Structure 1
């Protein structure tokens, strides 16, 4: 894997105090060091070990509530369906489900996780470009709210599966509005060159075709233009305007349109970004789709879960290079792949109270994986971090654990949920024995020594 290029920023990195000021669930205690809600993170690291993912239930509730309230204050009939791909922890899903959220899923595994976490089938949306016949059948057996179809071929497949089962599938057509969300190329989904959705010019004809097929009940339109959108509302407004235009045309032809799926993608401030607020998104929806008078749906993931999580890690050693200081951690790109994959920036805070106020110098923070790309950051201002020092990667609650792997035969990290003063392990650390347990050696290769 090629080494990622360092991100170029026009402003200095935020300091520790600035990072904490924007994250109300984290605070620096004079004795306990870095604390999440009412739990010192060093306590978790000492008892559970590292690397470990830690999530704040209070933050999940607070951010879900902020989005829900913004939609209500805009006068929208709206439902929120958490994007399970961002974080499929059963504990996280259970917290959000208790607040009234549904789920947006893109696989059988995510559908089963949502149901296991207590999310009613009637609040689940199944998205994605490659649903198998098995997944479509499961969705129909469960009686989910809707399937978002992303191609003419998939529409035909849904019709065939539903007809064979004697069911009628509620299907929304996901359109590709060819709108630039001005986000990272790997998480842009609304351009014509992306694999997602139906070309806008083909959508009306396909919707009419869908209405004539057996086993399908067309219920509306869906759109999602990308993830980590921080460049204002222009992209959203352009996409929603196209949806509104198409919905009006369909209803003008006597075709049923029951609701509109607005997708997700609202960004969060990893570094010093100033992403649009939930109120701004609600305003964009109201201005473009509100006149239609239809219920709307949102599918946020990162905005709810991202700030709620941290990844705890221990320093293995500091390596002094010819011109650089390397801080080698026990967490690696197999745990948190976003820096290697997207050149993503994550705040890094030491847990110890004295290190939060110690002198700083540039350091490259790396993991132990045998890849140059296993680099979290370069030239970050950090204190001297001796072996055993503990650090937290901020804003790791979305696309962290769900994207992790066992590369280099490294077991999956543990997961913990903090709720006020209480905390519990919600996924034990994978053991090396479990890592090997499902592998088989053909008998013709002989017995091992």
Structure 2
């Protein structure tokens, strides 16, 4: 058995000091003792720094705002996380009625909300229109007509943009690629002009913008520039036809370092895109950016306790109390997350597959990891702030873990641990 020795990601709010891992100023082992495991831990410092890296590029040298950040809530929608971003100045990118309700629950300005998603229902569209969102991103002609019908029933105007599928390869995992013609997202590039003409004729529709999102965990700038040029070409064509675009939504998708990836620096990346918009003559447009993973991914860890060490003929297994129910990404994408002992031990280092207790062979969190651990030790699964808790499930009737936010020397419970009884409290047996 050989280990997959990959470098650990660069982290802001988490660090190792003299063999002990900390969340800001609190040892992870102290958090596990107080709140139990599995446990999600987020760093306020890391969240703030990643946001400010974007916001820095959104201002020009004269202090004029060039773009606005709309956090993609699907990455991590905990109320404390989104409220922090609201306080920092963010708007929000939503993909469901539930996310709309979360944004409104923290007092987000409806005009800071962009409602995206490929399969919006009539009740979701109605809720968005009643709330007065900034824009609804349209993904098909059929959806465009449904929005018009719902708006007509409510006697409201519907501000829309079309999500363009530019057929640009984002060079990412096929499950998280969204900008190719074989993907379910967006309106095919050759259909966009026709669809805008259709939208401009519908009585309850107000065309306000154009949108493009090509995928997630993208680690190079080139695909963004390719997609941007194709979208700006459309804006030029629409202007000639008398269809005025007011805002340009560039989406999100910038990757993070899970191990050896080298994504662009956030500020440099953002400057490159915004400068290109200006160079093409579109500096007057209201530009929207929708980062998700790059804001929260490396701002969170998942803590888990070693239950058993199980040697085998072909594999050694480190069985922990977290599972695919807490972190789905390895099972879903074969994603790599760094895994480290929260406290260094003077014990023999062995190659393990780190697996959970769920009754599925796909329930693994890390393969071929060189670890010096004993039963009862605490492990930290890194880069778990994005697509961690939001993808969690109750499979095998497992309660979802608590979430903690650390701010310096203070820790706050931002979601309590579920109880087993809560999992079946909405169920009932048939009458006898």
Same fold (TM over 0.5): yes
- 1:229–1:267 Cα contact (<8 Å) kept: yes
Whether 1:275 and 2:268 are equivalent positions in the alignment is no
SS of the aligned residue for 2:58 comes to helix
- Could you list the per-position Cα deviations for residues 110-165 of structure 1 after superposition, in whole angstroms to 9, with x for gaps in the alignment? 11111112321111100011111100110011111110001001110111111111
Alignment-derived partner of residue 374 in structure 1: 363
Distance 1:201 1:283 in 2: 27
TM-score by length of 1: 0.92
1:412 is displaced (CA, Å) by: 0.7
Alignment-derived partner of residue 319 in structure 2: 328
Whether 1:436 and 2:424 are equivalent positions in the alignment is yes
- Could you list the per-position Cα deviations for residues 52-104 of structure 1 after superposition, in whole angstroms to 9, with x for gaps in the alignment? 11111111111000011123258762010111100010011111111000110
TM-score by length of 2: 0.95
Alignment-derived partner of residue 72 in structure 1: 59
Whether 1:229 and 2:218 are equivalent positions in the alignment is yes
Aligned residue pairs total 427
2:197 aligned to which of 208, 215, 228: 208
User: Using a 3 Å threshold, how does the CA distance of structure 1 residues 29 and 7 change in structure 2: closer, same or farther?
Assistant: closer
SS of the aligned residue for 2:411 comes to strand
- 1:333–1:369 Cα contact (<8 Å) kept: yes
Whether 1:192 and 2:181 are equivalent positions in the alignment is yes
1:436 is displaced (CA, Å) by: 1.0
Alignment-derived partner of residue 62 in structure 1: 49
Unpaired segments of 5 or more residues in structure 1? 1-5
What is the root-mean-square deviation in Å for CA atoms of aligned residues? 1.8
Aligned counterparts, 1:1-400, within 5 A: 12-14=5-7, 19=8, 22-30=10-18, 33-73=20-60, 77-230=66-219, 232-278=220-266, 279-288=268-277, 290=279, 291-293=281-283, 294-352=285-343, 354-355=344-345, 360-383=349-372, 385-400=373-388
Distance 1:246 1:282 in 2: 22
1:289 is displaced (CA, Å) by: 5.7
SS of the aligned residue for 2:396 comes to helix
SS of the aligned residue for 1:85 comes to helix
1:181 is displaced (CA, Å) by: 0.2
- 1:76–1:295 Cα contact (<8 Å) kept: no
Distance 2:167 2:65 in 1: 26
1:24 is displaced (CA, Å) by: 2.8
Distance 2:375 2:322 in 1: 13
- Could you list the per-position Cα deviations for residues 214-262 of structure 1 after superposition, in whole angstroms to 9, with x for gaps in the alignment? 11110011000000001x1121111000100000100111111101000
- 2:2–2:351 Cα contact (<8 Å) kept: no
User: Using a 3 Å threshold, how does the CA distance of structure 1 residues 7 and 359 change in structure 2: closer, same or farther?
Assistant: closer
- 2:352–2:371 Cα contact (<8 Å) kept: yes
Distance 2:3 2:410 in 1: 40
Unpaired segments of 5 or more residues in structure 2? none
1:7 is displaced (CA, Å) by: 13
- Could you list the per-position Cα deviations for residues 357-401 of structure 1 after superposition, in whole angstroms to 9, with x for gaps in the alignment? 765321111001111111122211111x22211011101000000
Distance 1:107 1:220 in 2: 20
- 2:15–2:23 Cα contact (<8 Å) kept: yes
307-316 or 284-293: bigger deviation: 284-293
